[in-house]
A and B are shown apart, each in its own frame.
Chain A
Amino acid sequence: TQLLEQSPQFLSIQEGENLTVYCNSSSVFSSLQWYRQEPGEGPVLLVTVVTGGEVKKLKRLTFQFGDARKDSSLHITAAQPGDTGLYLCAGSSNYKLTFGKGTLLTVNP
């Protein structure tokens, strides 16, 4: 069974702070996706990373795929209250998508 460990599980910060959340596994993935889920809604895809070492930027969000394609990180610069939500990573291998349990981020005004 492939497991994706996300850390931290909970993160509460003030508006304007920077943060990084992590997604780690002992398994190699062909690609990795990051989703954000808000209360009462389903997860929404933020980005897909495919190549080891790949870095993608989405406004204030920076996503990195590890060189060995086993881990990933999400860095948010100058967090805003609108960034509040559950951040999920999902690894793809053999056509299966496995989700981590997520990091619940709260950005306080």
Chain B
Amino acid sequence: DSGVTQTPKHLITATGQRVTLRCSPRSGDLSVYWYQQSLDQGLQFLIQYYNGEERAKGNILERFSAQQFPDLHSELNLSSLELGDSALYFCASSAGTASGANVLTFGAGSRLTVL
């Protein structure tokens, strides 16, 4: 157990739907990162939050949004889902703001299947 909790572990939904993925960071970590992993693209950085504020944005689609709440848990919202959104979505946490200078601890991921 890495200390980063992600729910749900598996999710199957239809095109056009909206889903919310949830992440609880490791105790004491203030930064949360969201990554998308697919076979062809590898691990792609989506977005980072630090203590409730957005700190960095990667290849996140406009149909996707995220937020970090006062208790530091984070949610990733995926809307108007397309077949190509099927992937593993990972949350990671770290103590600080600079992803390169800190160790990222990953959760076990949420596997999204869009039919």
Partner of B106, one of A31, A43, A48, A101: A43
Chain A, residue nearest B99 (CB): A97
Residues of B near A92 (CB, < 8 A) are 99-101
Residue count of chain A within 8 Å CB distance of chain B: 23
Partner of A42, one of B41, B99, B101, B107: B107
Residues of A near B104 (CB, < 8 A) are 43, 45, 97
Bound together, the chains give a CA A40 to CA B6 distance in angstroms of: 12
- For window 100-115 of B, CB contacts with A under 8 Å fall at 100-101, 103-109
Bound together, the chains give a CA A39 to CA B43 distance in angstroms of: 14
Bound together, the chains give a CA A102 to CA B108 distance in angstroms of: 17
Residues of A near B99 (CB, < 8 A) are 92, 95-97
A30 within 8 A of B: yes
B83 within 8 A of A: no
Q: Smallest CB–CB gap between B77 and chain A, Å?
A: 20
Cross-chain pair count, CB within 8 angstroms: 61
B77-115: contact bitstring with A at CB < 8 Å (1 yes, 0 no)?
000000000000010100001111101111111000000
Cβ of A45 and Cβ of B100 under 8 Å apart?
no
Main secondary structure of the interface of B (DSSP, over half): loop
Chain B contact patch, size range: 20 to 34
Cβ of A41 and Cβ of B108 under 8 Å apart?
yes
Residues of A near B92 (CB, < 8 A) are 42
Partner of A44, one of B44, B97, B106: B106
A37-71: contact bitstring with B at CB < 8 Å (1 yes, 0 no)?
00011111100100000000000000000000000
Residues of B near A42 (CB, < 8 A) are 2, 4, 90, 92, 106-109
Give the interface of B toward A (CB within 8 A). 2, 4, 35, 41-45, 56, 58, 90, 92, 97-101, 103-109
Could you list some 21 contacts between A and B, CB below 8 A? A41-B108, A42-B2, A42-B4, A42-B92, A42-B106, A42-B107, A42-B108, A42-B109, A43-B104, A44-B2, A44-B106, A45-B105, A95-B99, A96-B56, A96-B58, A96-B99, A97-B45, A97-B100, A99-B35, A100-B42, A102-B42
